[in-house]
Amino acid sequence: MQGRSWSHNGHKTNFGLNGLVDGGRVMVDWNKLPKLMKSRRNRRIALQASFWAVLLLLILTIAVTYVVPGQTQQSAYGDEWNDLGEFREELNRKGVETTALVSSPLLLSDLDHPEQTIFIISGVERDTISLPRFTGEDDLVQFSEGDGYTSSEIVAISNFVSRGGTLILMDDFGYSSNLAAEFGLEFTNHRLYADYSYDNDLGSDFVWVNTTSAFNFTSSQGMQTSVNPCLRDADEDGVVDVLDEDPSNPEIGAPFVTARAAGLCAHRFQGTDPSTNQPKWDWTQDYSLLTNTPSAFEKTSSYNPAERRYVIAKTTQDSWIDNNDDGNYSVGSFSAFGLAGDEQGPFPVYVRYCESILCRGSETGRVHFISDGSVLINSIYDPESDSSYLTVPENDNRKWVLDLVAEALILNDNGTSPGEHSLVIFDESRHQQPTIFGDTYNLVYYLLIYFTNDWMAMLILFLFLFMLLEAVLIRKEDPEDWRHVFRVVYYGFGDAERYKYYQRPEKIRQVLLTRVRNLNALTRDEFDTMPASELQEMIRDPVLVRFLFEERNYRPDELVGIVRRIKQWGEAGGSTRVVD
């Protein structure tokens, strides 16, 4: 049906079915809304729309509460000055597959080749969500979690390392203290300052950390350069074993080598010596690392060879930890006044943990702790990058992390390429996301992993589904067999429709005829061919006979009385036909 229209003085007005369209403006007739809501179908649609609207509002409320306001930073997929995009892109150019973990480190347990995987945590900006779980200890159920990662996630990361995985943890004042404690290490959780060893151009926030013997894990064992394939030279012929045609023969070196052939060790390749046609190599074992507002590790827990923790880099003597967080160096402790004095350096800022002693073996697990989450941000990793925020001097941060990548992903001396199953995973689950939908997606994904990986979560889910099923079964009333206890109305979820039958005489007649046929054990053909007089004889109730054969309109109270009479007639068994 089309709406009508008329035109007056060039102005056209259309009368539609649901409103008035005047010159492109829609005017809704609100007086029709009460009439629309009289329809059962429209009321049902309105209720469903209201339900989903309230549910969406609740979800958004939870999401907004979960989202921590702040600036997005240290993302491996960002290109801002404080992101890690340059590092990830260089790994991709070297043939290393990279991916992001946005839900939970619990997924590390599903890796098939952890010995060829690096898990990188750069800045833990978000605390974890405390959900109940089974502990298997004296306190059977744990209802609260520590900082940063849940107990189950810490166990998953620890198992990942014990299976040969490599973890690079870069954090300062974040929420990674519990994860570090799993490996026996403690953060000071206070800002580290240096009186002299900071960068003069960038300011006191940028502290230099230097080490001249990065592979001298202990004073008694000597240099451990053999753990890194980019420095391993068994025959000492000046060619690393991964490029040497015969690593055991000093007389045989390598043919013409290019940066491409150097693979994951290309950052140490310095060209080819024209006189010997052998590659020129960077054999240095020192790093000059540039940190940005770093923290430090506790001195007492950092170095413990018995537990395979080795301090690789320390600050200078002029450094100090601001224990009272006032930004000034305070000498002495005033405990009587509740004031803590600052502590003098040096302090460990780079600690290595080895699953086996001295990290010997290419497939042994290892963890690299550094007390600054910014050591690989774009402006520091690539000082030549286009950064209007910082002008950063040359540093060894890039060389340091690429050495770690080569150490983890080159598993033998047959080449410099990453292994077939090599993978670098960036933990994005604890980073602030740029949109509320990104954080909500991470939250939903986290809950999905939680309910499918934790026994406590699966028990809660099972109990919830069980109670929901029980509620449905309690709500649903199973109808009794109407052949034995006669009931005109079907009771169940459609109880609200029961009284409609009292307004439909033809339905009541159909029920009565069916009851007569069943009580007398007649087939449909026999019943259809039976004379009307015989049917009346079977019923033997003048009221029901008149109702069955008279076509007239009945009032609702009359139909109610007839239904009651049918029930009484059915409960008495009706009349039984005698078969000769």
For the chain, report the end-to-end CA distance as a whole number of angstroms: 65
The answer to whether residues 205 and 261 belong to one domain is: no
Predicted local distance difference test score (pLDDT) of residue 435: 53
Structure-token pair, residue 285: 């074992």
The answer to whether residues 252 and 335 belong to one domain is: no
The answer to whether residues 297 and 193 belong to one domain is: yes
The answer to whether residues 536 and 417 belong to one domain is: no
- Is residue 223 a part of any domain in this protein? no
C-alpha–C-alpha distance, residues 407 and 109, integer Å: 22
**Domain region containing 501:** 495-571
Q: What is the DSSP letter of 127?
A: P
- Residue in 121, 106, 109 with CA at minimum distance from that of residue 176: 121
The answer to whether residues 295 and 263 belong to one domain is: no
Residue 330 near residue 342 (C-beta atoms within 8 A)? yes
Residue 363 near residue 385 (C-beta atoms within 8 A)? no
Inter-CA distances, 332 with 321, 343, 346, 348, Å: 13, 9, 17, 22
- One-letter-per-residue 3-state SS of 307-318: HCEEEEEECCCC
pLDDT in tens, the chain (580 residues): 444 444 444 444 444 444 444 455 545 566 666 766 677 777 778 877 887 888 787 666 655 544 444 455 688 888 888 889 999 999 999 999 999 888 788 889 889 999 999 999 998 865 555 455 544 455 445 544 556 788 888 989 999 999 999 999 999 887 788 899 999 999 998 999 998 899 988 898 999 999 888 888 876 666 777 888 999 888 888 888 888 888 888 888 777 888 888 899 999 999 888 887 778 899 998 999 999 999 999 999 999 999 999 999 999 999 999 888 888 877 665 554 555 678 888 999 999 999 988 888 878 999 999 999 999 999 999 887 765 667 889 999 999 999 999 999 998 766 788 888 999 999 988 766 555 455 556 666 666 666 655 555 666 767 777 777 777 666 555 554 444 434 444 444 444 455 555 567 888 888 888 888 888 888 888 888 888 888 888 888 888 888 888 888 888 778 888 888 888 887 777 654 433 3
| Residue at a domain's end among 415, 437, 459 | 437
Residues 322-344 pLDDT 10s: 888 888 877 665 554 555 678 88
Predicted local distance difference test score (pLDDT) of residue 363: 82
- Is residue 18 a part of any domain in this protein? no
The answer to whether residues 404 and 328 belong to one domain is: yes
The answer to whether residues 277 and 386 belong to one domain is: no
- Is residue 520 a part of any domain in this protein? yes
Predicted local distance difference test score (pLDDT) of residue 2: 43
C-alpha–C-alpha distance, residues 546 and 530, integer Å: 18
Residues 136-193 pLDDT 10s: 455 445 544 556 788 888 989 999 999 999 999 999 887 788 899 999 999 998 999 9
Taking 3-state DSSP, the helix, strand and coil percentages for the chain, each rounded to the nearest 5, stand at 35, 15, 45
The answer to whether residues 212 and 238 belong to one domain is: no
The answer to whether residues 509 and 406 belong to one domain is: no
* CA 68, chain centre distance (Å): 16
Place of tokens 């992390």: 401
**Which H or E run includes 34?**
helix 33-36
The answer to whether residues 246 and 298 belong to one domain is: no
C-alpha–C-alpha distance, residues 15 and 29, integer Å: 11
Predicted local distance difference test score (pLDDT) of residue 430: 75
Residues 93-143 pLDDT 10s: 999 999 988 878 888 988 999 999 999 999 886 555 545 554 445 544 554
Share of the chain above pLDDT 70, in %: 71
The answer to whether residues 276 and 383 belong to one domain is: no
Indicate the SS3 state at residue 215.
coil
- Is residue 26 a part of any domain in this protein? no
- Per the structure, the count of domains in the chain is 3
C-alpha–C-alpha distance, residues 198 and 137, integer Å: 47
- Is residue 65 a part of any domain in this protein? no
10 Å CB burial of residue 251 (0-12, 13-18, 19+) is exposed
Residues 285-320 pLDDT 10s: 899 999 999 999 999 999 999 999 999 999 999 999
| Residue at a domain's end among 392, 409, 437 | 437
The answer to whether residues 197 and 314 belong to one domain is: yes
Mind giving me the DSSP string for 513-574? Answer: HHHHHHHTT--HHHHHTS-HHHHHHHH--HHHHHHHH------HHHHHHHHHHHHHHHHTT-
